[in-house]
Amino acid sequence: MVCKPEESPFWYDRLWRNSVDFFRSLDIPVRTLECCSGDLADLKVKSCDVEAWSPRQQKYFEVGSCSNLGDAQARRLQIRVKGADGRKYIAHTLNNTVVAPPRMLIAFLENNLNADGSVNIPAALRPYMGGKERIG
């Protein structure tokens, strides 16, 4: 995402919340782990990992991440925006991996699997599954 510098904290929170809400809508317990400044890659200003619970492993594992790169990436790419006042400024960029598909599938199956081998279909997906509540 490319945005105005003053809007990057808002968009970071919005992107992060979208990731968390997506997993929770699939009945997957998640938590976020904010990366400390010493662990941030060169360009990142702020970053967090979204982690899903694995019943099989009895621990959380990363399923996505969200990062605010401030103006560092835009400087490298020379992304400049002309404001309403006609002055140019360097934009801020953000990255969000909402879903890493293989990891999401693992988290989905592990958290919705029943002892008989059937899989519960979360309410958010039932309209797309003909109203089914389970896959047998």
Which tens digit of pLDDT belongs to each residue from 67-120? 999 998 898 988 888 888 898 999 999 999 888 889 999 999 999 999 999 999
pLDDT of amino acid 114 = 95
Span 30-38, mean pLDDT? Answer: 84
Residue found by looking up tokens 């619970």 in the block? 53
- At residue 66, what is the residue type? C
Report the percentage of the chain scoring pLDDT > 90.
Answer: 70
41: pLDDT strictly greater than 70: no
E strands, the chain, in order: 2-3, 30-34, 46-54, 59-68, 80-82, 88-90, 92-97, 119-120, 134-135
Please, which pLDDT band fits residue 36 given cuts at 50, 70 and 90? confident
Averaged pLDDT score across all residues of the chain: 91
134: pLDDT strictly greater than 90: yes
58: pLDDT strictly greater than 70: yes
Q: Which residues of 44-63 are buried (b: 16+ CB within 10 A; e: fewer)?
A: bbbbbbbbbbbeeeeebeeb
Please, which pLDDT band fits residue 39 given cuts at 50, 70 and 90? low
Task: Give CA–CA dist 41/50, Å, rounded.
Answer: 17
pLDDT of amino acid 44 = 76
**CB neighbour class for 15 (10 Å; exposed up to 12, middle 13-18, buried from 19):** buried
Asked whether the beta carbons of 27 and 53 are under 8 A apart, the reply is no
Asked whether the beta carbons of 44 and 66 are under 8 A apart, the reply is no
